[in-house]
């Protein structure tokens, strides 16, 4: 496979990513993988992360994009949910303009907070042909509670997702961005494009009940799979990723 780093300027913020291209040319499906909200915990040295996952899907024939949302990794800016929406819109546009990509087969696969952004983007862009949601919250209500210290602006400052002292300009607007992207608001607008919801049985951050809420509001065609024994980080579940790959390869 061919690996190509890229940087997109979104609102003058550099968004860094990598495009993996299969050796075979031609008109190929594209997959954009969207990471979740970083926890700030040290990385597992044995975890290959999203680059390893991207290799798996590229090897199966997908032009595969991974990237850092603003405020994370080597991208610039500050963590902001509506900003993340605009970052993903720019990646979709980038894939749409990539010569070997079949524009009728641009797919998204998001994890946790990145799944929420993916649902919003798919509901607002007909360019997204299929969507896989992994450990996707139905809504962020409990996370935006002022009593949740692990979801406070100060917490995100401490772990480096909010980098500028004067950001956000309005705390209310920053919190409202979570409410705006709540997947339960938008999930029924994805049809008639296919939707797959994957949920870990033992997820300690997003309850199984939230996955079922999304499934029940979504329209056909839709599928849901509860992964027995799996937790929140479904990219580490070989079973979950095998199901996602098989589903994305369907005609």
171-193: pLDDT as tens digits: 889 989 999 999 999 999 999 99
Q: Given this structure, which CATH class describes domain 2-39+48-248? A: alpha beta
Per-residue DSSP letter, 162: -
Residue-level pLDDT at 146 = 52
Distances, alpha carbon 14 to alpha carbons 40, 78, 87, 156, 157, in Å: 21, 11, 10, 19, 19
Residue-level pLDDT at 24 = 82
Per-residue DSSP letter, 105: E
- Is residue 146 helix, strand or coil? coil
Q: What is the mean pLDDT of residues 136-158?
A: 76
Instruction: For residue range 96-121, list pLDDT tens digits in order.
Output: 999 999 999 999 999 999 999 999 99
Structure tokens at 152: 């406070």
Q: What is the mean pLDDT of residues 27-48?
A: 89
Tokens 């839709």 correspond to 222
The stretches of 129-207 forming alpha helices (DSSP H) are: 153-158, 171-181, 183-186
Handedness of CA 159, 209, 242, 93 (dihedral sign): negative
pTM of the model: 0.95
Residue-level pLDDT at 26 = 84
- 177 C-beta neighbours (distance < 10 Å), count: 18
Give the bridge partners for 197, in sequence order: 133, 224
């Amino acid at each position: 496979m061919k690996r190509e780093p890229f940087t997109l300027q979104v609102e003058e913020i550099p968004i860094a990513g990598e495009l993996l291209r299969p050796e075979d040319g031609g008109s190929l499906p594209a997959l954009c993988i969207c990471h979740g909200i970083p926890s700030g915990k040290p990385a597992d040295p044995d975890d290959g992360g999203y680059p390893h996952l991207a290799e798996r899907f590229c090897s199966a024939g997908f032009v595969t994009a991974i990237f850092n949302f603003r405020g994370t990794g080597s991208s610039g800016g500050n963590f902001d949910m509506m900003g993340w929406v605009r970052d993903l819109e720019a990646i979709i546009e980038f894939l749409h303009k990539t010569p070997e990509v079949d524009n009728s087969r641009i797919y998204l696969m998001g994890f946790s907070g990145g799944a929420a952004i993916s649902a919003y983007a798919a509901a607002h862009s007909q360019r997204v042909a299929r969507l896989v949601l992994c450990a996707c919250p139905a809504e962020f209500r409990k996370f935006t509670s002022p009593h949740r210290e692990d979801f406070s602006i100060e917490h995100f400052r401490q772990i480096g997702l909010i980098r500028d002292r004067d950001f956000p300009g309005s705390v209310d607007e920053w919190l409202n961005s979570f409410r705006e992207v709540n997947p339960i608001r938008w999930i029924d607008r994805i049809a008639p494009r296919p939707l797959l919801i994957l949920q870990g049985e033992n997820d300690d951050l997003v309850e199984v009940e939230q996955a079922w809420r999304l499934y029940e509001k979504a329209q056909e065609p839709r599928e849901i799979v509860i992964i027995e024994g799996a937790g929140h980080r479904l990219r580490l579940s070989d079973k979950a990723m095998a199901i996602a790959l098989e589903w994305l390869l369907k005609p």
